[in-house]
Structure 1
Amino acid sequence: MSTETFPRQYARTQRFTVGAPRSFAVAPDGSRVVFLRSRGGAERANLLWTLDPATGAERVAADPVELLGGGEESLSAAEKARRERSREGSAGIVGYALDGSGSLAAFALSGRLFAVDLAGGGAPRELPAEGPVLDPRPSPDGSLVAYANTAGELRVTAADGSGDRALATPERDGVTWGQAEFIAQEEMDRDRGFWWSPSGDRLLAARADEAPVARWWIADPANPDVVPAEVAYPRAGTANAEVGLWLLDLDGGRTKVGWDGAEEPYLARVHWSGSALTLLVQARHQRTQRYLTVDQATGATTTELAERDEVWLDLFAGSPSRTADGRLVRIADQDGVRVLVAGDLTLSDARLHVRSVLSVAETILFTASGGPADDSAEPGWIGTFEVAPDGTGLTRLGTAGVVSAVRGGDVTVLLSADTSWNGARAEVLRGGATVATVASYAETPVITARPEFVFAGERRIPCAVFLPTGYDRERDGLLPVLMDPYGGPHGQRVAQSQNPHLTSQWFADQGFAVVVADGRGTPGRSPEWEKAIAFDFAGATLEDQVDAVRALAGTYPLDLGRVGIRGWSYGGYLAALAVLRRPDVFHAAVSGAPVTDWRLYDTHYTERYLGHLDERPEVYEANTLTGDAAKLERPLLLVHGLADDNVVAAHTLRLSSALLAAGRPHVVLPLSGVTHMTPQEEVAENLMLFQVDFLKKSL
């Protein structure tokens, strides 16, 4: 019987993701399912696998250990940065791309370029390339592979390894071709910078010039002999990278795509299917955006649709797309409801809050949660639905708490998570019937989460509540409370699945009643719910944590005289905010990697919610924590990775300096060499133990 503790297991297995299948794709004809998975729960290196839906047989298509001859991976600084932006903590093959038929896969491994014929079952082959290689992608017919590299070039080579050549080369430092700039990767969910034409005869390539962007230097104080890393970081109110688009012919021809980058600097989405090349470009203030159609002969653009919102416009995965007859598929806010739209036809209603588009073919697959007219008894469900492009046949796939899907032809991979099982189940369906289940090698957690999902207070704040295993109210009485939120944009925590709640359950088992509350600003309810935090992070998000814990005290054994709060990133900001501004409610806080001064955070995120710094300096001041330092009267633990290039350590250091100047005692835990993800096993484990010790002493 294992005696391993949960913190060690949780850290070692990278939150139980090691060994779980992921990154699914299905060939358009349904002939194969492609995915990544390591060989076991103790092995981080992902292999590339295929599954035959006809037989259910799995096959290893590429093994990184074999391809590297047993050697260690060597990652370039650019690849490390890409992984940090995508919160990628695994090893081996972490991404791949397929040709149009799903027969050829290309991937980068240790900066080298590989391709493998999935249909023929041959061995992977390394293609000569000018590396280190980034983001290789085959042409639709599989005859070519295009890739970016750390020199800023966009190159193309034949799939047989011949004819490698540059299509675009930067004229100076700071310029890259075919790569997404920092702000696109970190905040716009656009991690690519080039796109093949459907015919495979040319590429659309982004050129990013980071010369206007201010430079920051991220040092490692524990190793003063190491040169600080230079980071082009576009903080709020300062210049972004300048991004342009070119159509690149394989014979060297080049056509500039025209749109007003000064008026709409954010290239948010690109969709190229059939004969239509569509761009979604956004104004810096994010209250207006346009869907542009590109004339592929001249590069000129015409506006197909312009959108405006008085607060802000969100971006969504899979939107825009196109139906077979050319209609624009998008997600839009209409009359207080987030809906799915195809052309002029609205395909969903107020019962659903649409979240993403998964695929567009004979039917449209999309994810949604409960909308304003939903009378669901519990919060936290996320379903996958399909509907015909004419709006008929709306159907929900699966019955689990959280469901997503990938489809090709008549084959669907249904990914289901629920509180009644660990991890996600990956079922392969053909014609609605299960024909195979993709095995997961992820370890079984040594604990089981037991969330109780409720709506709290008059605003019906979605919450998950956790009590210690074996808790008996008559014997144990009231419990100290630990609020465990993220609490901000894009950070839903209350979800009807098991694994995301394991840490909250572990903290509960240390003797706390743990509450996870998704207040205003978090996704999944309604546009109004998300946009209620406009120009006021501090007010709405903190108020909902207060209201949630007070409302739940009427039902659960919560000792309101002992309330702690912990969080990371936005949750860290919220935790520090809580003890600074509401010490009457919160009696101790653990604040991990907090944004303490929004003037130090990036443009696209911060300006969406708080406006431009030059136009609303008072808003930034009102939502910044350093001015509240003199108010601290409760125990506060600040934790920060010194190698964090997203929320830089200056946030914590500046707040600590302000607290010291105000004579307010506090604790700072600097994590040397640690980024925003804290992937190091020992660090992640001991950090959990340190937090419990601090909270127990403080409460």
Structure 2
Amino acid sequence: MKKVLLSLSIVVSVASSAQTITLDKIYSGYYRGKGIAGIASLKNGENYAIIERGGIAKYSYKTTQKEGNIVDGNFESYQFSNDESKILLQKESKQIYRHSFLGKYDVKDLKTSKTISLNNGNFAQEPRFSPDASKVAFIADNNLFWQDLNSGKITQITTDGKKNQILNGLADWVYEEEFGHARLYEWTKNSDALVFVKSNESEVPEMYIPIYNKQLYPSEMRFKYPKAGEKNSVVSAHLYRLDSGSTTEINLKNFKNYYIPNVIQTAKADEIILITSERTQNASDVLKVNTKTGAVKKLFTETDEKWVETDNVTMEFLDDNSFIWGSERDGNRHLYLYDENGKLKKQITKGNWEVTDYYGYNPKTKEVYIQTNQTGSINKVVSKVNIANGNTSIISGKDGNNSANFSGNYNYFIETSSTAQRPHTYVLKDNSGKAVKELQNNNEMLEKLKADNWVAKEYITVPNEVGDQMNAWIMKPKNFDPNKKYPLFMFQYSGPGSQQVTNSWDGGNGLWFNHLVQQGYIVACVDGRGTGGKGTKFKKSTYMQLGKYEIEDQIAAAKWFGKQSYIDKDRIGIFGWSFGGYMASLALTKGADVFKAGIAVAPVTNWRYYDTVYTERFMRTPQENPSGYDDNSPTTHAKLMKGKFLLVHGTADDNVHYQNAVEFAEALIQNKKQFEFMTYPDKNHGIFGGNTRPQLYQMMTDFLLKNL
């Protein structure tokens, strides 16, 4: 112990002899960057709005000058009606889960300046203007309502909403988390009807979490959480017509109807799209509902031998009611054009690259605007593609991570870009990609970092044992000596479709990694099989065996690094959070001969404990695939642990439950394994609040200095 303390004091004294990146600086906000909040283009295509202190401001694209405030006051977010005659203003909020929250809202008429409170000033969820701007639908206490903006009258559509039993137009926990949104209703184009999903979760097993919060007796957080193989909510689709006030169930018995993750408005009156699937998520029906009659027509079924990405739907209707659809069917995510009856007209984008985001369609030029990785799997660029002739041109920077916010007429866009060497910049550009004006940069932050001897990531590839070249980055000390042996600290996430190796700015863990580099570590990250950016074959190669090939690739990467002249193969550690924590747990068990130390934060330790939609998408149910679950659980391999292991979890984690850490800890205990276990009272999956993050990262730093 004395030797450890001595070596630590030497490291600290050396590090303090020069300007360094410290945890105190990181968490004091010393390196905090600047951004532009709430960018929204106005329909005239000549102006955009942003959130500023004191109001929602209006700027000119042409001059980049502020033209005043659209609304005065301080707001968390806003939403314009389609004709921009009204604005919905969020004044306060209370978070529920990742996407859902309760909010208080006002609606202001921008022509008359009349303001009306939504839901009589009470909390509401998921408000949405009707297309004709005369109404707002919203959810309160799991029931769906609409409010007339002229009279203020509120009409209640459903009455059976009840916590932990019935939700109307609102996603349950697993839908929200895994399909990526909380709202499950939509207006028709002509504003005379609403289609919504009703979720009956009364039979879903209930999760309960003790909340301590300095109370004499802890309270309980109770919510429905369907774990892999267990019952999900029973969902149904319903049609509500404003003229009659009637609600009818939409008959989906002839179609896939186990999940209804998407409700989408078309360009035509009296129509709504529903996207549905069975429990096995390898096929999705795209259904068109006639909202006058309730009749349902299947346009087509999207299929895949493994899974269909129902959480990342691209579907935009054009003026003639044809539509653009995103699909992975040719081995990469690309866009396809269908007619209004669901007949495929053509593939819009092609190539050995992926469409990573969709921005919109310009009917005047017949161009779609997209984000792709066509300049390399670690980059993202903004492109426009002509639907008629397929001509493609990149209109953003060609390296780094570039995204866009387009003007209403597509004559301008605000480009947000970064690289590993350059933090976020915001540049106004014209349709050809020519810079008009830089709106914001982070040069001041970058200069502070450089003064503190910050180092950037370098990009390399690392082979795995089946011949893949895996994308990787590495960070080396400023005074790197290739003849010296350095300890290696590996970071990864590794979840399906994720990417940690991107040519983009990392102001989060990247600053902590710099802090570690300044303590004498080399830090590296490798995206192995199952991760995104390299096509569906690479991404979906882990199907039915989640964790198996991912950990094989991390072990292979660690062995490869260990053969490099500058890495001490006996001092390799690994760190990850959530799925990454699961991987770190596997690394210290199945990879115990390679990794000396590991840190697992909020890890899944057996996929049987995680939710239905996510887990079964990649693994099917435990009943169908028991070995896939158990053979790849670190709990199963607890007896193999050798190195130093730090397990971290929050007791109020509603996503990856504390149960995961407890079960793994018990398995380690019963195998007489020594490890460190840190619990964060009442903290959720993010483990933050007050001084929590500074304490966590100091603890992890100390653990590494002591054990690696």
Please give the TM-score of this superposition, normalised by the length of structure 1.
0.87
The alignment status of 1:692 with 2:693, answered yes or no, reads no
Q: Distance in 2 between matches of 1:240 and 1:628?
A: 30
Match of 1:359 in 2: 360
Is the CA contact (8 Å cut-off) linking 2:304 and 2:329 kept in structure 1? Answer: no
Flag the 1:398–1:534 CA change in 2: closer, same or farther, 3 A.
same
Secondary structure at the aligned position of 1:185 is classed as helix
Aligned to 1:163: 153
SS at the partner of 2:229?
Answer: coil
Q: Which amino acid is the alignment partner of residue 607 of structure 1?
A: E
Q: Which structure carries more relative contact order (alpha carbon 8 Å, separation 6+)?
A: 1
- Per mean C-alpha deviation after superposition, the further-off stretch among 202-211 and 48-57 is 48-57
**2:255–2:285 Cα contact (<8 Å) kept:** no
Q: Give the aligned partner of residue 520 of structure 2.
A: 511
Residues of 1 paired with 2:565 and 2:57: CA distance? 47
Report the equivalent of 1:72.
none
**Equivalent residue, structure 2, for 1:453:** 459
Q: 1:517, CA displacement in angstroms?
A: 0.8
1:201 aligns with 2:192: yes
Matches within 5 A, 1:52-131: 52-58=60-66, 59=68, 61=70, 93=76, 95-110=77-92, 111-116=103-108, 126-129=117-120, 131=122
Shift of 1:470: 3.4
Q: Which of residues 206, 218, 234 is equivalent to 1:242?
A: 234
Cα deviation, residue 662, structure 1: 1.3
1:433 Cα offset (Å): 4.5
Tell me the SS of whatever aligns to 1:162.
coil
Change (3 A) 1:480 1:3: closer
Identity of aligned residues (%): 23
Aligned residue number for residue 33 of structure 1: 48
Shift of 1:390: 2.6
Deviation (angstroms), 1:157: 1.9
Which amino acid counterpart does residue 81 of structure 2 have in structure 1? Answer: D
**Deviations along 1:384-404, whole A, 9 cap, x unmatched?**
222123352212221141112
Q: Does 1:21 align with 2:28?
A: no
8 Å contact 1:640–1:671 — kept in the other structure?
Answer: yes
Return 450-459 or 566-575, whichever deviates more: 450-459
- Tell me, yes or no, if structure 1 residue 51 matches structure 2 residue 59: yes
CA distance in structure 1 between the aligned counterparts of 2:107 and 2:648, rounded to whole angstroms: 42
Asked if 1:494 corresponds to 2:485, the answer is no
Conserved? CA contact 2:197–2:260, under 8 Å = no
Query: 2:585 & 2:144 partners in 1: Cα distance?
Result: 44
Matched letter for residue 179 of structure 2: M
> Relative to structure 1, is the Cα distance of residues 235 and 188 closer, same or farther in structure 2, using a 3 angstrom cutoff?
same
Distance 2:552 2:521 in 1: 22
For the residue of structure 1 that corresponds to 2:147, the secondary structure is strand
Q: Distance in 2 between matches of 1:12 and 1:101?
A: 43
Instruction: Report the alpha carbon displacement of residue 595 of structure 1 after superposing the two structures with TM.
Output: 0.1
Find the counterpart in structure 2 of residue 607 from structure 1. 616
Cα 1:662/1:555, change in 2 over 3 Å? closer
Question: What is the aligned partner in structure 1 of residue 15 from structure 2?
Answer: none
Cα deviation, residue 558, structure 1: 1.9
Match of 1:348 in 2: 349
Between the aligned partners of 2:250 and 2:519, the Cα distance in structure 1 is 58
Q: Distance in 2 between matches of 1:102 and 1:391?
A: 34
Deviation at 1:406, TM superposition (A): 2.6
Deviation at 1:161, TM superposition (A): 6.6
Higher mean C-alpha deviation, range 662-671 or range 385-394: 385-394
SS in 2 for 1:581: coil
Cα distance in 2 for residues equivalent to 1:424 and 1:553: 37
Rate the CA distance shift 1:281–1:107 in 2: closer, same or farther, 3 A: farther
1:409 lines up with 2:409 in the alignment? yes
Q: Map 1:147-546 onto structure 2 (within 5 A).
A: 147-149=138-140, 151-159=141-149, 162-170=152-160, 172-173=162-163, 174-221=165-212, 223=214, 225-251=217-243, 252-260=245-253, 263-275=256-268, 276-315=271-310, 317-343=312-338, 344=344, 345-362=346-363, 363-370=367-374, 376=376, 379-399=377-397, 400-407=399-406, 408-410=408-410, 411-427=412-428, 429=430, 432-439=433-440, 444=445, 446-447=448-449, 448-457=454-463, 458-474=467-483, 477-500=484-507, 501-546=510-555
Deviation at 1:113, TM superposition (A): 1.5
SS at structure 2 position matched to 1:204: strand
Q: 1:606 to 1:36 in 2, by over 3 A?
A: farther
Shift of 1:530: 0.6
Residues 462-481 of structure 1: per-residue CA shift (max 9 Å, x gap): 1011112333345xx12100
Q: Which amino acid aligns with 2:559?
A: R
- Partner of 1:341, secondary structure, is strand
Segments of structure 2 that go 5 or more residues without pairing to the other structure are 1-17, 93-102, 339-343
- Structure 1 residues 125 and 622, CA gap change in structure 2 (3 angstroms): same
Change (3 A) 1:554 1:54: same
Of 658-667 and 316-325, the range deviating more from structure 2: 316-325
Alpha-carbon shift at residue 15 of structure 1 (Å): 9.2
Does the 8 Å CA contact 2:61/2:428 hold for their aligned counterparts? Answer: no
SS across alignment from 2:691: helix
Relative to structure 1, the CA distance from residue 599 to residue 340 in structure 2 (aligned partners, 3 Å threshold; closer, same or farther) is same
Shift of 1:158: 3.1
Alignment of 1:631-670 (within 5 A): 631-670=640-679
SS in 2 for 1:109: strand
Q: 1:82 matched to which residue of 2?
A: none
Range 442-451 or range 522-531, more displaced: 442-451
Kept after mapping to 2: 8 A contact 1:599/1:620: yes
After TM superposition, give the deviation of residue 521 of structure 1 in Å. 1.0
Give the structure-2-normalised TM-score.
Answer: 0.86
How many residue pairs get aligned? The number is 653
Tell me if structure 2 keeps the 8 A contact 1:317–1:357: no
Following the alignment from structure 2 to structure 1, what is the Cα–Cα distance between the partners of residues 181 and 26?
A: 29
Q: Give the whole-Å Cα distance in 2 for the aligned partners of 1:262 and 1:360.
A: 30
Quick one: distance in 1 between partners of 2:182 and 2:373? 25
Moved more, 605-614 or 490-499: 490-499
Shift of 1:206: 2.2
2:603 is matched with which residue? Answer: 594
| CA radius of gyration, larger in | 2
Of 174-183 and 320-329, more deviation after overlay is shown by 320-329
Change (3 A) 1:163 1:456: same
Change (3 A) 1:302 1:641: same
Which runs of 5 or more structure 1 residues have no equivalent in the other structure?
A: 40-45, 68-91
Q: Residues 278, 418 of structure 1: CA spacing in aligned structure 2 closer, same or farther, 3 A cutoff?
A: same
Q: Does structure 1 retain, via aligned residues, the 8 Å contact 2:584–2:599?
A: yes
Distance in 1 (CA, whole Å) between partners of 2:565 and 2:378 is: 19
Q: Which amino acid aligns with 1:459?
A: D
SS in structure 2 of the partner of residue 419 of structure 1: coil
8 Å CA contact 2:561–2:569 kept in 1: the answer is: no
Q: Distance in 2 between matches of 1:313 and 1:204?
A: 24
Deviation at 1:686, TM superposition (A): 1.8
Is 1:143 the counterpart of 2:147 in the alignment? Answer: no
Query: What is the distance in 2 between the residues matched to 1:556 and 1:415?
Result: 39
Structure 2: distance between partners of 1:600 and 1:634: 25
Tell me how far 1:313 sits from its aligned partner.
1.3
- Tell me how far apart the structure 1 counterparts of residues 142 and 443 of structure 2 sit (CA, whole Å): 37
Amino acid at match of 1:329: I
Q: Distance in 2 between matches of 1:267 and 1:122?
A: 39
- Structure 2 SS opposite 1:267: strand
Superposition RMSD in Å: 2.9
